[in-house]
Every structure is written in C-alpha cells, then in structure tokens.
C-alpha cells in the first residue's frame, strides 16, 4: 500500500518552474503502463514500450497498441538508448523536482536561478549540484525495486565499471572478481584461477574512459549479478497450444517449474503469462531471479489467474483463500440486478394472472415440483422457514426482509444458488428472453412499496411455495462444499 503513495507522475511538475518537464517526462513513460520505460523494446513499427507491456499486448491481440500494425514478440528489439535516457532522468528527477518545488514555494520568478538549475540538471552542472544529484540518486535507487535486490549496491557502484551491464548479449556473465565476461558455466572454473586483476580484454578503453568522464549516475553499474540471478540466456518459445494435449501442456508447465493445476484455458493463460514474464526478464539489463519472477506470477495468479474471482467462474476459484469476493460480486452485479428485476416484474400487481402463470410454471419446471395451478389462490400464505408466519409484512422479520413473500424472486435466486452449487455457469437460460434492461429493484427506500406489493402478490405466488421450502430443498442449497472450510474471518479482514 505504502508503495503506492510515492508513485511519481508527470503532473508532479505542474505548478513548479519546471512545468515543461511534464512533457519531457511523459515522453519517457511507456504508453501502456504509464510508468517509466522498463526495458524498452522497439517494435517493427518503431514504437517503444516496456518489454513486458508490449509482450503482453502482443500476446493478447498481436498488434502494436499505438498503430495497430501486426507484430510479433520475436521481432522486438531492445532500445538501449531509451533505457539510458530513462535511467538518467529517473536519477535526476528527485533532485530536480525537489529544487523545483522548493523554488516554487519560496518565491516565483527568479529566472536566473531557474536557468542555472536547468542547465545544471541537463549537463552535469556545478560540483555541489552534482553531489546532491548522486545522493538523491542513491536514495531512490535503494527504494527502487531493482536495487532492492542488493542494497549493498552503493559500494559496488563506486568500485565496478558498469559498461558490462550494457552488453547486449545476455549469454555472458562477468566474473565477480575480474569482471571479464565469459559463459556462465565457465565462471566457476575461471574463479579457481582468477588472479583478481581486472581483465585486459574487458570493454574497450574508449567506453571506459567515456564512462568515467561523463559519469552519469546510471552508468554506475547495477548491482552485480549474484550467481543466483545470472541472466537467463534463452527465451522461451511460445507454444502452439492447439497442438498440445492437456497432459502435455501440464507437463510443460511442470518442466518450467510453475503451477500446473486448473483447467486448460487457465493453463494456457498461465503459460503465456510466464513466457512473457520470463522473456521480458531476458530482455532486461538487470534480470531478476527466477524466484522473483515466480512471485510475480503468483501475483498474477491472485489477480487474474486461477485464484482470481472471475477466472474459472466456478466455485473452485470462489473457494480459494485469496478470492476477492467484492470484485466477484461486482462483476456479477448487473446479472443479479437483472434477475431481481425480472423477479420483481413478475409479481408486479399490474401484471395480470396470465403473466404470473407463465412465471409460475417456469419456476416450477425448474424446481421440478408437480404442476400446480394457481387455483389455490386463497390459501393463506404462510411459510418461509416457519420464521414469519404472517403474510402481510407486519412482523418485524418482514420489514427486514421485504422479499420473503416473493417466491418468484426467491425461486430464481434459489435456482441460481443451485447452479452455483453445481458449478454451472449458464444461468437464467429460461428467463433470458425476458431480459429487459432494468436497473436493480432493491432499495430500502422502497421497502414500503415492496411490502405493499408483497401483500398483493401473496396469493399468486402461493403454489410455488411448497417445494422450495421443504427441508429437502434447503439442504442442497447450502450444502457444504467439498473443499475444506477456510477461515473467512481473517480472510475478509485482510481485505
């Protein structure tokens, strides 16, 4: 939660003397995630996005989000220049923003100072300025996710030459002692005889010199890749899922070390997500460990994957611990509204018996109760679990529950519950044709009205009352599911 609070945005510049920086910053942000470019990739149509963003977009519809030209993930190329610009800007940003805001709050319109400030930011200005910059830089670096992996980076930053990190080929890793680059598997053998001398065959002296003289903050290397986080070398191929059988697919997932439960569509989505995560990590100049990626996948699982509310649309997802009930309820809100509206409509007094009849038959069909007609109209409408025996809403219970007399509504809802119990997602098939776009009908302010309706409707709905309220009816409705009961208290509190 707290992490959200310091989300930087281009609007931070508004109101400061550096307002034009807003457009500069906007240009350095990915149009998909609206964040600074993270491992920018350029498409064949020359648009740049974060690696992960464009990969996800391409897997979802295969088109460039900006110009909608078809493209493929395999055609993406890294855009190192943008990466460096973004890094430099991000490093300079806090300091610049701070100065700009202070300046703005102090006094308006000291043009000279502002110019000086601008210059100092753009081309590594005076000494003190520079110091502040790098200080700021370190602060934010350590806040940032990437550096969080190794907080010791600051010391390392000062010692190690960073050029290596910008090697486009991920196949090589630097020796932690001498920094010479070699194949991953060769590192251990090399370590045994490494003398610790910085390798002469390292980067060209030119780039080294330039790095030293320019010394923009981001040129300082990212934390050394520990052995655990050696950059993955090979990108994962996309699978042609249609050719794979379920079991083969499951096996593939297992081979990749990711969860392999769930129905086939979920498997496919999970695999796609993983491939995107993994490949974008391959693109990155500071790859994360597989464990971090797995954690990311877990997040995905919780928000969009199998554990997500509307993923399976099945109680399977519903019963999971991380299930987001509110979202689920919300996503089905309209549906429920429709159902309720239909139920209401059926028992509106203005609808004559004819309609009532069809409605009754319908609900009876569903409940499988013997065909009864409305001839037992006069029957006292009692029931409702024996809780409220007076029909006309005088008991306290009926004030709370204006719908209890409304068997129509209840029967539909019950059916829904039934379906939920059986994991059936095709609801309201029989009532579909009556689907009128109506807003929800349940409002406490309408309780009086509801009661009045209830009175008038009581006799009509009598016949359908028997079956649903018999004990045999009740049981399956709230039968305990197969899954173990989870601790809901704590679960919802966490929300």
By CB under 8 A, the residues from 390 to 449 that bind other proteins are 397, 400-404, 410, 413, 416-417, 420-421, 436-446
For the residues of 27-53, what is the DSSP string, one character each? HTB-TTT-SB-SSEEE-TTS-EEEHHH
Residues 66-85 that bind other proteins (CB under 8 A): 66, 68
Of 473, 330, 464, 333, nearest to 409 by C-alpha is 464
For other proteins, the closer of residues 231 and 305 by Cβ is 305
Of 390, 376, 350, 345, nearest to 460 by C-alpha is 376
Among 123, 128, 433, 487, binds other proteins (CB under 8 A): 487
Residue 299 makes contact with other proteins by CB under 8 A: yes
Among 286, 288, 344, 465, binds other proteins (CB under 8 A): 344
Using CB under 8 A as the binding criterion, the count of chain residues that bind other proteins stands at 98
What separation in angstroms does the CA of 36 have from each of 16, 72, 286, 299? 21, 23, 15, 21
Among 75, 81, 144, 488, binds other proteins (CB under 8 A): 488
For other proteins, the closer of residues 71 and 170 by Cβ is 71
Of 7, 60, 13, nearest to 35 by C-alpha is 7
For other proteins, the closer of residues 184 and 337 by Cβ is 337
Q: Which stretch binds other proteins (CB under 8 A): 140-148, 211-219, 232-240, 331-339?
A: 331-339
Q: Which stretch binds other proteins (CB under 8 A): 48-56, 229-237, 238-246, 260-268?
A: 48-56
Of 328, 347, 313, nearest to 427 by C-alpha is 313
Among 171, 329, 422, 448, binds other proteins (CB under 8 A): 329
Q: Which stretch binds other proteins (CB under 8 A): 87-95, 118-126, 158-166, 383-391?
A: 383-391
For residue 63, the 8-state DSSP code is B
For other proteins, the closer of residues 99 and 173 by Cβ is 99
Q: Which stretch binds other proteins (CB under 8 A): 29-37, 173-181, 235-243, 284-292?
A: 29-37
What separation in angstroms does the CA of 112 have from each of 18, 93, 115, 129, 156? 13, 20, 5, 16, 38
Residue 21 makes contact with other proteins by CB under 8 A: no
Residues 345-374 that bind other proteins (CB under 8 A): 345, 348-351
Residues 158-177 that bind other proteins (CB under 8 A): none
Token pair belonging to 219? 């040129």
Of 348, 451, 446, 449, nearest to 396 by C-alpha is 451
Report, in angstroms and rounded to the nearest whole number, the Rg of the chain calculated over CA atoms.
32
């Amino acid at each position: 939660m707290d992490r959200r609070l310091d989300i930087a945005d281009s609007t931070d510049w508004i109101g400061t003397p550096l307002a034009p920086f807003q457009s500069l910053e906007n240009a350095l942000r990915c149009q998909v995630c609206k964040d600074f470019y993270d491992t920018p990739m350029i498409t064949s149509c020359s648009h740049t996005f974060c690696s992960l963003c464009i990969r996800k977009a391409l897997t979802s519809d295969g088109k460039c989000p900006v110009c909608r030209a078809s493209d493929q993930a395999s055609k993406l190329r890294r855009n190192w220049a943008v990466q460096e610009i973004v890094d430099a800007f991000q490093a300079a940003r806090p300091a610049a923003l701070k100065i700009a805001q202070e300046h703005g709050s102090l006094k308006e319109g000291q043009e000279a100072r502002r110019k000086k400030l601008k210059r100092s930011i753009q081309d590594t200005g005076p000494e003190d300025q520079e110091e502040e910059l790098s200080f700021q830089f370190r602060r934010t670096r350590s806040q940032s996710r990437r550096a969080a992996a190794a907080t010791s980076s600051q010391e390392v930053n000062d010692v190690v030459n960073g050029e290596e990190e910008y090697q486009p080929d991920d196949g090589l890793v630097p020796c932690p002692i001498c920094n010479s680059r070699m194949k991953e598997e060769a590192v251990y053998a090399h370590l045994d005889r490494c003398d610790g001398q910085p390798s002469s065959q390292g980067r060209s002296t030119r780039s080294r010199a330039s790095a030293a003289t320019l010394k923009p903050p981001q040129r300082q290397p990212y934390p050394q890749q520990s052995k655990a986080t050696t950059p993955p070398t090979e990108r994962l191929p996309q699978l042609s899922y249609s050719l794979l059988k379920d079991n083969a697919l499951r096996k593939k997932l297992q081979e990749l070390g990711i969860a392999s439960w769930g129905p086939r569509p979920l498997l496919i989505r999970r695999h796609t997500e993983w491939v995107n995560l993994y490949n974008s990590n391959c693109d990155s100049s500071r790859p994360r460990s597989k464990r971090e990626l797995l954690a990311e996948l877990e997040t995905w699982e919780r928000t969009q994957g199998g554990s997500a509310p509307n993923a399976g649309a099945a109680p399977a997802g519903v019963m999971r611990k991380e299930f987001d009930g509110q979202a689920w309820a919300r996503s089905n809100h309209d549906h429920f509204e429709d159902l309720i509206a239909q139920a209401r409509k059926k028992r509106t007094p203005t609808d004559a018996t004819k309609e009532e009849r069809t409605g009754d038959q319908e609900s009876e069909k569903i409940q499988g109760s013997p065909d009864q007609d409305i001839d037992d109209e006069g029957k006292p409408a009692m029931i409702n679990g024996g809780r409220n025996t007076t029909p006309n809403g005088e008991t306290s219970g009926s004030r709370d529950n204006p719908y209890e007399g409304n068997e129509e509504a209840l029967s539909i809802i019950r059916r829904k519950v039934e379906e939920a119990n059986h994991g059936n997602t095709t609801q309201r098939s029989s009532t579909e044709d009556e689907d009128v776009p109506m807003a929800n009908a349940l409002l406490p302010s309408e309780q009086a009205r509801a009661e009045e309706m209830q009175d008038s409707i009581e006799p009509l709905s009598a016949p359908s009352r028997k079956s649903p309220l018999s004990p045999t009816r009740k049981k399956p409705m709230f039968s305990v599911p197969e899954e173990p009961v989870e601790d809901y208290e704590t679960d919802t509190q966490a929300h």
